[in-house]
Amino acid sequence: MDKAALKKTDTSPSPVATVVKRSARQLWLAYLGAYARLGRSGLAYFKDLVEHGEEAENKGKQLLDEQLDAASGQLKTVKSKVGARLEKVEQRVGTRVGRVLKRAGVPTRGEVEDLSSKLDGLSELLIRTAKP
């Protein structure tokens, strides 16, 4: 009899075990539901993130292009101003160097070319007169 009484008490589940089993099953079902929902909406969420990323990239490229164009325009302006000033400086330096050379008695390029052409003429004259 003792064994029969023990079997009866062992086979009946306790109320705590029933509650734990039910809670574990509900947790498992909630996990599966969340996983399934994420699987369905996860792809759409990923696509949405990709679209937002592409928009941000395009805006960044456009902003960069605009800034590069503005900087390029400013650089061209600065180059032209520097070029004009450099030409003025070169002219002033050339004029001043010419004055200093003139004071020192150094002939100008034009004077040297005139003298060279006169020497060529004299050389030809000497060659003609030297022939018997």
| DSSP3 helix / strand / coil % (the chain, rounded to 5) | 90, 0, 10
76-125: per-residue pLDDT in tens?
999 999 999 999 999 999 899 888 888 888 888 888 899 999 999 999 98
pLDDT, tens digit, 9 for 90 and up, residues 43-66: 777 788 889 999 999 999 999 999
- The model's pTM is 0.40
Q: Residue 79: what are its φ and ψ, rounded to 5°?
A: -60, -45
Segments making up each domain of the chain, as ranges = 11-130
Q: Are 56 and 62 within 8 A, CB to CB?
A: no
